[in-house]
């Protein structure tokens, strides 16, 4: 009998990472994948990207609106748990698949853990410099199987007391898409989004919820530094965390400036093509520290949001101060492209994921988890 697998997605970013895993289960008669789409996908401000999900031909997509613009994170979490709980009671899935550190992932893991449904967490064990890291680790403790990107991530989960048999290294699923020969050309991407220039940087700047008292100053420094260059920029809206409206208000100063094209969202495959051909990416998005190094595209990581994540020779860090940002941009101009880095996989995540499913790994593991203490080096010997 086919097993029903529910994939929970709340953002354009996590959908892009989950998409290869969704596709590979859709191609198998052994599984019935269902997408539970919520969060930013349901908001007009961010392009109502539920339409993009539906346009990709998935057979089963369920939409649930869990928020309005910038509601409190606690309220969004409660709303998502309530809606997802009712959903799984009707669907009775055999497995819940979640990604990363967003509230939607925490809601999915919470419901699965309390309803006795196995939960597979993609890309646990990562670190960053904000409350997102705490959410990610909480999601890991509630999940039953961990499909991680690297050996470093696997080791962190062992430090959290997770049992070794629950941890499997499959790489980052988005790399499967990044290295695909089927990505659109740059001309196709630029034509779709009416981008007239071909020499550009990418800018993505998100709010840090633990630094709301300085977010206006940070956004001002960021925008002013970009304005004072001669570069063209493709800018993408921040996520919907509290503080995003402050950033968007500051970005409105760029409206009408021919050097800037601003989008609520870009379709993932088109974003990858635009990233691959960019001169650099600047901001505090995970795309700068996860995807950009795969293409050897230099990235300027600003502030604290991604601090502590894996580093690469292509990544420069700068504080959110105008002169420091300007200096980092000059440095990128002087250095040019970097050597591609594949520290998080080489594009075979979907195969590894499917193998684990076919072997029955998520269902062979006991639902009752046990804390596994780390052995000292003396005890190991």
Same domain, 215 and 273: yes
Residue matched to tokens 């998502």 = 80
Same domain, 216 and 147: no
What are the residues whose beta carbons fall under 8 Å from the beta carbon of 27, sequence distance 6 or more?
A: none
Residue 340 lies in a domain: no
Band (pLDDT 50/70/90 cuts) for residue 219 is: very high
Q: Is residue 310 over pLDDT 80?
A: no
Same domain, 297 and 245: yes
Same domain, 316 and 350: no
> What length is written for the chain?
381
- Which element (helix H / strand E) includes 151? helix 151-159
The pLDDT, as a whole number, for residue 131 is 84
Same domain, 219 and 319: yes
Q: Is residue 209 over pLDDT 80?
A: yes
Same domain, 275 and 331: yes
Same domain, 45 and 108: yes
Residue matched to tokens 């684990």 = 356
Distance CA 163, CA 371 (A): 7
CATH of the domain at 287: 3.40.50.2000
Structure tokens at 30: 């052994």
Structure tokens at 323: 């002169």
By residue range, what is the domain housing residue 51? 3-178+346-380
- Classified as helix, coil or strand, 347 is coil
- Provide the strand spans (E) within the chain: 3-9, 31-37, 61-63, 95-99, 119-122, 145-148, 167-169, 201-204, 233-236, 260-263, 280-283, 299-302, 315-318
Q: What is the mean pLDDT of residues 217-230?
A: 98
Structure tokens at 209: 């919820």
Q: What is the mean pLDDT of residues 97-109?
A: 97
Q: Is residue 381 over pLDDT 70?
A: no
Structure tokens at 99: 């990604």
Domain count, the chain: 2
Residue 315 lies in a domain: yes
The pLDDT, as a whole number, for residue 72 is 86
Same domain, 131 and 39: yes
Structure tokens at 110: 């919470």
Residue 214 lies in a domain: yes
Q: How far is the first Cα of the chain from the last one, in angstroms, to the nearest whole number?
A: 45
- Which element (helix H / strand E) includes 180? none
Name the average pLDDT for the chain. Answer: 94
Residue 341 lies in a domain: no
Reported as a single tens digit per residue, the pLDDT across 160-194 is 999 999 999 999 999 999 999 999 999 999 999 99
Residue 321 lies in a domain: yes
Q: Is residue 337 over pLDDT 90?
A: no
Same domain, 163 and 214: no
Same domain, 199 and 320: yes
Closest CA to 20 of 186, 172, 185, 188: 172
Distance CA 322, CA 46 (A): 27
The percent of residues above 70 in pLDDT, for the chain, comes to 98
Kindly report the three-state secondary structure assignment for every residue of 92-134.
CCCEEEEECCCHHHHHHHHHHHHHCCCEEEECCCCCCCCHHHH
Same domain, 123 and 139: yes
Residue 16 lies in a domain: yes
Same domain, 167 and 194: no
- Where a domain ends, among 335, 356, 371? 335
- Where a domain ends, among 316, 335, 354? 335
């Amino acid at each position: 009998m086919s097993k029903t697998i529910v994939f929970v997605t709340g953002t354009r970013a996590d959908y892009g990472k989950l998409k290869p895993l969704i596709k590979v289960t859709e191609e198998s008669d052994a599984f019935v994948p269902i997408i539970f789409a919520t969060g930013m996908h349901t908001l007009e401000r961010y392009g109502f990207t539920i339409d993009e999900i539906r346009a990709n031909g998935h057979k089963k997509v369920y939409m649930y609106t869990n928020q309005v613009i910038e509601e409190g994170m606690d309220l969004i979490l409660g709303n998502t748990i309530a809606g997802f709980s009712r959903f799984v009671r009707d669907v009775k899935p055999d497995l819940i698949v979640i990604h990363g550190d967003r509230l939607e992932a925490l809601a999915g893991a919470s419901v699965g853990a309390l309803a006795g449904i196995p939960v597979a967490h993609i890309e646990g064990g990562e670190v960053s410099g904000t409350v997102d890291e705490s959410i990610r680790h909480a999601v890991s403790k509630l999940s039953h199987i961990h499909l991680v990107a690297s050996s470093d991530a696997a080791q962190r989960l062992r430090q959290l007391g997770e049992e070794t048999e629950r941890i499997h290294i499959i790489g980052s699923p988005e790399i499967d898409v990044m290295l695909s020969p089927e990505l659109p050309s740059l001309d196709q991407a630029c034509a779709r989004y009416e981008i007239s220039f071909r020499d550009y940087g990418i800018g993505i700047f998100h709010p840090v919820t633990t630094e709301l008292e300085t977010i206006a100053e940070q956004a001002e420094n960021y925008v002013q530094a970009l304005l004072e260059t001669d570069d063209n920029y493709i800018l993408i809206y921040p996520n919907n965390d509290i503080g995003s409206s402050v950033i968007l208000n500051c970005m409105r100063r760029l409206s009408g400036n021919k050097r800037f094209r601003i989008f609520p969202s870009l379709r993932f495959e088109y974003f990858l093509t635009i990233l691959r051909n960019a001169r650099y990416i600047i901001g505090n998005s995970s795309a700068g520290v996860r995807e950009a190094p795969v293409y050897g595209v230099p990235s300027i990581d600003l502030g604290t949001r991604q601090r502590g994540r894996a580093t690469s020779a292509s990544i420069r860090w700068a504080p959110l101060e105008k002169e420091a940002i300007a200096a980092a941009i000059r440095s990128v101009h002087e250095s040019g492209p970097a050597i591609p880095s594949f520290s998080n996989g080489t594009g075979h995540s979907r195969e590894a994921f499917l193998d684990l499913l076919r072997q029955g790994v998520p269902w062979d593991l006991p639902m009752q988890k046990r804390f596994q203490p780390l052995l000292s080096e003396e005890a190991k010997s």
